[in-house]
Amino acid sequence: MTPIPLTPGQVSLEQLAQIYWSEVTVALDDTCRPKVEIAAARIARAAEGSDPVYGVNTGFGKLASHKIAAKDTSALQRNLILSHCCGVGPAVPRPLARLMMSLKLLSFGRGASGVRWELVELLQQMLARGVTPIIPAQGSVGASGDLAPLAHMTAVVIGEGEAEVAGDILPGAQALKSVGLEPIQLGPKEGLAFINGTQFSTAYALAGLFEGWRAAQNALVIAAASTDAVMGSTAPLQPQIHSLRGHRGQIEAAAAMRATLEGSEIRESHRDGDTRVQDPYCIRCQPQVTGAAMDVIRQAAATLVIEANAATDNPLVLTEPDAIVSGGNFHAEPVGFAADMIALALSEIGAIAQRRIALMVDPALSFDLPPFLTPEPGLNSGLMIAEVTTAALMSENKHLANPCVTDSTPTSANQEDHVSMAAHGARRLTRMVGNLNYILGIELLCAAQGIECRAPLTTSPALRHVVARLRTKVPSLTDDRYLAPELEIAKNLVAGGAILNAVAIPMPELS
């Protein structure tokens, strides 16, 4: 596979999404090589000098006052990596680990890290030949870099740790050898350059961003189906309502829902003579809520694309002034804020979706749909407990949406006395998106059942395609049956993009 070229400092959200979704092979544009090599040469000279330079010829953190002899700089870097491999918990999924590696390449490519080009080449070849480090997901507080997870990633570079190759878990050196690669002995600062950075937190935040945006798009389609199921009004979707307010997300959400509902016989059947004056907010205010959430996700995206292109290790090799300077670019506060924003958006999309489900199963509110959407209520409970499941998931996401970035605890003997907690702030997004996709999958089941209850009236052509796609996997609900596998199927149809493909209506884009 030909690698896609990445220009450090100029990589787009679309390219990052391609790396995540498709696990493509990447390579830095060769134009960045001279800067990388100049910075590496400057670090090599500093290592031979008498002046202390943090992490080059000194210890780390609270041990920075300890001077290290030039002959020991390689051992210093190796010890750094091995001592920092203290992660615990489940392994980072392969797409995320590969995204981490790609982000680290982008950071090196800015020419401020001081690593040799051969390390860039080894990372690129590991991606190209399918060597994926096994990285425990827990252990970073998101400041001084994502130290533990990045150390586990780097361990394979030096022939330690473990990696996955073609489905097998192998010791690091063996994994490299199996694809014709060899480990590299780290030089001055190179271990520090690998582990000082936000690439773990940023990779997880980007995954939450991309998966969350897909969920938001699905929410618009499924919300349109729910609107038709309860015979809701499309009047609140009129363009001028939304242009008068002016928010991009709201305007685009309303437009997508209008297009999705276009041509519905169900809608036309109650356009005149409907005794209801207004729908509940979960129907009437869908563009205002989901659209606002989409705008928040876009704001987070702007932060994350900057961070993905950033040099985030320490110290940095500067050109203006010509110096090697300790700073704090490893502090993941921007990523933590972005992750918290995405979490809030995911929680709200799920909250309003859950209320639509509650509306559809309640005969007092659903405009003549059968109780719990079963054709024979009483003998059958229908989707009663599926709705309860969504209430549990909604509540779980509300708790998970509480900010992580406002928490901090001192580490490393108070040297690192304020931390971002961006790592688990970003990591929790995976769980939240999973919960949201279950909520949306169950809403889809309810909406399809409700639409079918309106027969012989039909929904819009776009939504007929959606219902038909669902029915290839999940039949209509008649008598009660074992539903758990069907909830899983519905969730997977949402998460995998099958519903968006079926509707064939353009949805709002992230960028």
Which residues are identified as catalytic? 54
At 213, list the tokens: 């945006």
The end-to-end CA distance of the chain, in Å, is: 27
Per DSSP bridges, beta strands 4-6 and 162-165 are unpaired
In order of 269, 339, 374, the CA distances from 223 in angstroms are 19, 25, 20
Question: Which residues, other chains included, contact 402 with Cβ-Cβ below 8 Å and sequence gap of 6+?
Answer: none
Rounded to whole angstroms, the Cα distance separating 17 from 305 reads: 11
Rounded to whole angstroms, the Cα distance separating 181 from 93 reads: 23
- The angle subtended at Cα 155 by Cα 152 and Cα 158, nearest 5°, is 170
Relative orientation angle of helices 199-229 and 333-361, to the nearest 10 degrees = 20
Asked whether 306 and 300 are in contact (CB, 8 A), the reply is no
Rounded to whole angstroms, the Cα distance separating 333 from 3 reads: 32
Asked whether 143 and 419 are in contact (CB, 8 A), the reply is yes
Helix (H, G, I), strand (E, B) or coil at 319: coil
- The angle subtended at Cα 139 by Cα 136 and Cα 141, nearest 5°, is 140
At 166, list the tokens: 């073609």
Letter for the amino acid at 137?
Answer: A
